[in-house]
Structure 1
């Protein structure tokens, strides 16, 4: 039985988050958590927290069965673009450049390997 966890409107670009999502996709949960906790990219912290939430959701769904016993796998990870905050930055000769502050939505689905 699979469990889902979602992170909405995290303020970083979707392309940067997809780099990490590609690393942990299809991995054992324990190994994915170890990689995320030692990864230098700043997006690794909220992604690890989201993965822990998905594991907890799976345990709740399966009557408190331990995730370590079930050999959970990161079944699906996908990153979608979130809302974009549009700001203006001063530019030469009285003009203004548009700055697009991007955000993303991350969804993680974990499932037992059985």
Structure 2
């Protein structure tokens, strides 16, 4: 069972956030939280909160299951560019340089790494027997 968490308009450039997102892509949730806790980048704390939100969303959907038994992992994580604030910074000789303050949108999807259902195994067995 999947769970999704999104955070929009984070005031960090998408490039900086993608570097941190690449660290936890495909990792188990417990390992990803451990990695994010000790990263020096400011975006790591933001990603940690979004990941905890995804875990809470998963727990809301699956109230009868325990998180420890589910073996959750980060299925997909992506960082898209958000709106840009355009500002002018004073430059020499009366000119102005444009400063672009970037933002991003974070989406995390977590899933349980449970064994495939028995019907899936039977279906693959039957197709291989027919060939």
Q: TM-score, normalised by structure 2?
A: 0.85
Alpha-carbon displacement from aligned partner over 1:64-83 (angstroms, at most 9, x marks no partner): 52222100000000000000
Q: What are structure 1's unaligned runs of at least 5 residues?
A: none
1:16, 1:71 → 2: CA distance? Answer: 29
In the alignment, structure 1 residue 92 sits paired with structure 2 residue 98: no
Aligned pairs, number:
114
- TM-score of the superposed pair, with normalisation by structure 1: 0.98
Q: Which has the higher contact order (CA 8 A, sep 6+)?
A: 1
Q: Please say which structure displays the higher CA radius of gyration.
A: 2
Residue 45 (str. 1) matches residue 39 (str. 2): no
Instruction: Give the corresponding residue for 1:35.
Output: 35
Q: Which ranges in structure 2 are unaligned for 5 or more consecutive residues?
A: 115-131
Q: CA RMSD in A?
A: 0.7
- Structure 1 outlier segments of 4+, above 6 Å: none
